[in-house]
Amino acid sequence: MIDPVDRRESALLAVAHSYGVTVHRADLLPGERGRFEASQSRILISRGLTVGQEVATLAHEVVHARRGDDGHQEAAVERFVDEEAARLIITAAAYRDAEQVEGPDLWGIARHLDVTPGLVLAWQRAARRLPAILAS
């Protein structure tokens, strides 16, 4: 089990646990940040991630757990999972605040939100696909 690094991770851990899934840090393959193992009902998070990477990775794997995915999925599914993970972490109000402070700079917005640039891109894709996100 892992100790949460911040309130976002604490909330994600509670969601994972509500699905009957445990979360552990592990030494994963190079470049692999996380993994949901359906057969073990567990999420593994790579050691040594930044807070932003860890939160983004946990959100991604929680979505896989909710969906019941096992293993890496095709690209379209992974993009959808990224978008759902972004929606778990980034609110419209927080995004607007970050964009107001940082302008359109992807890395600046990511730093402001303490998430990965990939999670910001996923949120932007979801907002284009589902404009109601911007109103929330």
- Asked if 120 and 106 count as a contact pair (C-beta separation under 8 A), the reply is yes
Domain match, 82 and 109 both: yes
For residue 49, the enclosing domain spans 7-72
CATH number at 40 reads 3.30.2010.10
Evaluate if residue 130 carries a pLDDT over 90.
no
Reported as a single tens digit per residue, the pLDDT across 39-87 is: 999 999 999 999 999 999 999 999 999 999 988 899 999 999 999 999 9
Q: Does any domain span residue 1?
A: no
Please give the model's pTM, rounded to 2 decimal places: 0.90
Evaluate if residue 33 carries a pLDDT over 90.
yes
Domain boundary residue among 38, 56, 72? 72
Domain match, 37 and 81 both: no
- Asked if 50 and 118 count as a contact pair (C-beta separation under 8 A), the reply is no
CB atoms within 10 A of CB 107: 11
Q: What sign for the dihedral angle of Cα 108, 122, 37, 32? A: negative
The C-alpha angle with vertex 89 and arms to 62 and 55, in degrees rounded to 5, equals 60
For the chain, percent of residues with pLDDT exceeding 70: 97
